[in-house]
Amino acid sequence: MSAKILDGKAVSQRIKTELKAEVEKLKQTGIKPALAVVIVGDDPASKIYVRNKKLACEFCGIKSLEFALPAETTQKELLALIERLNNDNTISGILCQLPLPEGLDEEAVINAISPAKDVDAFHPSNVGKIMIGNFDFLPCTPAGVMELIAESGIDVSGKKCVVVGRSNIVGKPMSMLLLHKNGTVTICHSRTKDLAKECREADILVAAVGVPELIRGDCVKEGAVVIDVGMNRLENKKLVGDVAFSEAAEKAAAITPVPGGVGPMTIAMLMKNTVKAAVLNSTGKN
């Protein structure tokens, strides 16, 4: 089987182009989307992601404000900044780039962001809304995956979906979104007894564990849709996913590459959430 490549770069570009037109129209009504991005410390990967978010904002006509803080920033200082951004009516969305340097409490920072401006959808109130299926924002990576699955023409309903990984940011919300589309969802993790066997059952297999090329060809059912959320930088600087791409592509009907798959979709979904936040906050719906 030769797999269809799910081109996240192309799909994200299309979504951003649509958003650009929407933002232009919104501006005529006085709504000006603006995203505040907080980054603490010097993590090189985080700096790249923040730069790419800024570029995406520029493309879409969204104002972006970057708050780059030193690694020595205290919890109190970080929370004070979040509070200031929460109270700034010109800012539609706020995100704090993760991971935070050691010593800072990620959970407390996530909890401090106003749910109405929480464009990452990490705040417990937004997480709860996702559980019940009545949400304003979806977390960007799982939302991007759902767009790519739809793009591949796959109807999730009744399909066996296996999500490998149970993080709060990807694995858990991903499972919930697949469930909302009537998939039959299994979540696998480090204690799963026979991971390969579970994966081979999947019509839709989502890998989000952060282990380079953990999912080999023998984990993939013939004709499956394989989504690779992993982004692992090897010592030789090569970027690989959680899936051994060429082995899996021999079996899959459709597969996302790394880079160029889920990553760019994450940023497109962030733009979508920021525009939505601007609209909701302007109508006082939030």
Binding site for ligand LMY7XDAE (CB under 6 A): 48-49, 52, 95-98, 120, 140-141, 231, 239, 258-260, 263-264, 266-267
Q: Would you say 165 is a known binding-site residue?
A: yes
Give the shortest CB-112-to-ligand LMY7XDAE separation in angstroms: 13
Token reading at 98: 């993760």
Say if residues 258 and 241 touch (Cβ distance below 8 Å): yes
Give the residue with the Cβ less far from ligand LMY7XDAE, 31 or 65. Answer: 65
Q: Is 216 annotated as a binding residue?
A: no
Catalytic residue check, 194: no
Catalytic residue chosen out of the listed positions 16, 97, 117, 251: 97
For the chain, what is the largest distance between any 2 Cα atoms, rounded to a whole number of angstroms?
A: 57
* CB contact at 8 A, 113 and 123: yes
**Does residue 53 have an active-site annotation?**
yes
Closest CB 95 distance from ligand LMY7XDAE, rounded Å: 5
Residue (26 or 121) nearer to ligand LMY7XDAE, CB = 121
Amino acid at 123: H
Catalytic residue among 120, 136, 203, 242: 120
Task: Please state, in angstroms and as integers, the Cα–Cα distance from residue 127 to each residue in 34, 85, 99, 165, following that order.
Answer: 23, 21, 19, 17
186: helix, strand or coil: strand
Considering the complex, what minimum distance in angstroms separates the CB of residue 158 from ligand LMY7XDAE? 29
The answer to whether 152 touches 11, Cβ cutoff 8 Å, is no
Indicate the residue whose CB is closest to ligand LMY7XDAE.
263
Our CB check for ligand LMY7XDAE shows the closer of 162 and 268 to be 268
Can you tell me whether residue 94 is helix, strand or coil? strand
Nearest residue (CB) to ligand LMY7XDAE, 9 versus 160: 9
> Measured from the CB atom, is 100 or 253 closer to ligand LMY7XDAE?
100
Cα–Cα distance measured from residue 261 to residue 135, given in angstroms and rounded to the nearest whole number = 25
Residues with Cβ within 8 Å of 131's Cβ and at least 6 positions away in sequence, in order, are 176
Query: 63: helix, coil or strand?
Result: strand
- 200 in a known ligand binding site: no
Is residue 254 within 8 Å of 2, Cβ to Cβ?
no
**In whole angstroms, how close is the CB of 107 to ligand LMY7XDAE at the nearest point?**
13
Shortest approach of ligand LMY7XDAE to residue 43 CB, angstroms?
A: 9
Evaluate whether 188 touches 199 at the Cβ level (below 8 Å): yes
- Numbered residues of the known binding site for NADP(+): 165-167
Active site amino acids: 53, 97, 120
